[in-house]
Every structure is written in C-alpha cells, then in structure tokens.
Structure 1
Amino acid sequence: MIELLRTLKAKYGLKIVVVSNEARELNAYRIQQFKLSDWVDAFISSCFVHLRKPDEVIFQLALDIVQQPARQVVFIDNTPMFVRIAEELGMNGIHHTDYTFTCAQLAAFGLSTSAMALTPRDSGTQSSLN
C-alpha cells in the first residue's frame, strides 16, 4: 500500500493525511521505518491530538487540515466502522481488505492504478488515509 499511495500522490498531486490510533512510540517507529514523512503531508495521531477513531472530531480535523470538501476526499481503512463514519461525514470510503480490491475502488474514484507497475508485496502494511 505504501508504494501505491506514493505513486498515486505523484501521479495526481494528492494530499495524503494519515489518521491513526497509535501510541507515541509505535507512531514514531512507523514514520521513521517506512519513511512516511517523505511523502505524507500530515499525521493526525491519537497520541498527539488526544482523539481517537471513531470520534467524528478526528475525521473533521483531517478535513480541516487537508482543506478539501469531504466529497473530494477518499478515506481508506481496514476497519469498516471507521469507513462508515467517514462516509457519513461525506467522504468517499474504501474498506481495505486486500490490495486488488483497494486498487479497483480507487480506480472507481478516478484514481487509476492500471498503468502502474505495482505489486501487492506491501499490502499487509496498514498505510492509508486513516
């Protein structure tokens, strides 16, 4: 998923915001280990903002930071309840179950992945707009 999102960001000029429910140490480790700060525009981490998904306020914070209407945002998460809340707030939601499904859903939103040389090797890594 990391390479997919990096490629889509480069191709479409997307803003990538990560919303996570993580402890400070794990959050810092993932950002460093996967070099997320090289391409992620903002991190909204529960350990810093003292909000957690499914609290709607953390989703609204993401919208405020990205400065885009909800209808122009695609929220990807592997937890159906979080996707449902994002959709209730007007965002486009993708319940990430596997790499192929997520690519198909992104394509349905006009974010084509067909011309990219992407492999599902990193599909187990939770890297989303969550």
Structure 2
Amino acid sequence: MNSEQLANGLRLRDIKVIFLDIGGVLLTNGWGRVSRQSAAEEFGVDFSVMDKRHELIFNIYEEGRVSLDVYMDTILFYEPRPFTKEAFRTFMFQQSKLLPNMLDWLIAWKAQQPQLRFFSLNNEPRELHQHRVDHFELRRLYDGFVCSCDLGLRKPDPQIFAVALGVAGVQPHECLYIDDREVMVTAGKMAGLNVWHHQNSEATISFLQSL
C-alpha cells in the first residue's frame, strides 16, 4: 500500500484527523507472540499450554469484556504458581518499548499543523493500553483514543471505523488512517478512509512530508 493508492489529489489541507495505530507504529506490540514466549521462558511455564489458553480469551480481553486479573487467571493462575500476578503483570508491561523516530517526530510535525487532530485506532486490552498511554506520555500526540477495550469492538470490524468517525466528528474523506498491518489498512480503505500502510519510520515520515 503506498501513496498512489490514496484518494486522488489528497493534500494535507484536506485532512482534519489522522487515525494512528499505536503498536507497530509508535511502540512495539504490547503482548505479541514473541513477548508471550519470553514470558513463558522467564517464568518457567509451558508456552504451548499458555498460548492455547491465551487464544481462548484474548479477543474478549482486548474488547474490554474481562479484566487483566481474569486473563491471568485463565492463562496461568488456574493452578498455584511459584510467582505472583504482580510479577507477571510487571513483566508483561515491560514488553512495551518505544520504536525509534516516530513519536517525537510526529509531535513536532503536529505542532506545525494546527488544523490536525490525532486519534488512536487500536486493539489493546484496557490495563495494557492505559499503561502505554501513561508511561510513554502518548497524550502529547493524541487528542483522543479509539481503542477496542472501550468499545467492545476490534479492528478489522467495519463498525469500529464508523465509531471512530463519529467520535472524531468527521467524514471518511477527511481522514488519514495509518496502520502497520495490511489487513487493517485494507479494512480502513473499504470503510472509505484515506490510508497509509506503515512499514518503517523513514517511509511514513517521507510520505507525510510529501502531502
């Protein structure tokens, strides 16, 4: 997906809102497979068993339907463990890292574009999302957050794009949606949004500068 696949003649002056994913764009994915494998190794548990249980519950956890405590009870603490929930929670949160270049550049760039508002459009569980927003001070960039945990909806459900447009008070053609996963970008395009497939910071910065 590249700039040639955006709406014809898109210019920065036409955009009122940028919907920007968090994981894979600004930060690492908060609790992806690599992180879960690291957790299994760190705490000495069977990854295959833990991951099967993760797959059973993670969707509803990401939709805000169960808490982190319930998630941990489901994947690990259904039996006694030689470590605490707090230790596991701390390790889980520590898996979130800042990706290079994007956040500080976007904050500076946004300051030069007073007409633009930024909203997240992301799938994340509530406790992890709140940690990431607070720890990395994401309110420096975002004017609001459209997150699966607050809506009971997950991308690529078409309804989450409709809700995001309503929250921001804009029409699809007035938006730019940036995501690192092509399936999500395609879903955004099908919802009528202008889209950009983020693959690395250099390409995305160059694209935004070209508008």
TM range (shorter): 0.7 to 0.9
Counterpart residue number, 2:127: 25
Give the secondary-structure state (helix, strand or coil) at the position aligned to 2:178: strand
Q: CA RMSD in A?
A: 1.3
* Partners of 2:173 and 2:191 in 1: CA distance: 9
Counterpart residue number, 2:109: 8
**C-alpha deviation, 1:44, in angstroms:** 1.2
Question: What letter corresponds to residue 162 of structure 2 in structure 1?
Answer: Q
* Partners of 1:5 and 1:63 in 2: CA distance: 21
**C-alpha deviation, 1:67, in angstroms:** 1.6
Counterpart residue number, 2:81: none
For residues 8-87 of structure 1, the aligned pairs below 5 Å read 8-13=109-114, 14-87=116-189
Summarize the Cα distance change of 1:41–1:53 in structure 2 as closer, same or farther, 3 Å threshold.
same
Identity %: 32
- Cα distance per residue 1:33-89 (max 9 Å; x no partner): 111123311111111110000001111111111122211211110100111111122
> Please, which runs of 5 or more residues in structure 1 have no aligned partner?
111-130
Name which one, 1 or 2, has greater alpha-carbon Rg. Answer: 2
Summarize the Cα distance change of 1:44–1:99 in structure 2 as closer, same or farther, 3 Å threshold.
same
Greater alpha carbon shift after TM alignment, 90-99 vs 63-72: 63-72
Aligned residue pairs: how many? 109
Summarize the Cα distance change of 1:82–1:48 in structure 2 as closer, same or farther, 3 Å threshold.
same
> Please, which runs of 5 or more residues in structure 2 have no aligned partner?
1-101
**C-alpha deviation, 1:107, in angstroms:** 3.0
TM-score, normalised relative to structure 1: 0.77
Give the secondary-structure state (helix, strand or coil) at the position aligned to 2:145: strand
Question: What letter corresponds to residue 182 of structure 2 in structure 1?
Answer: P
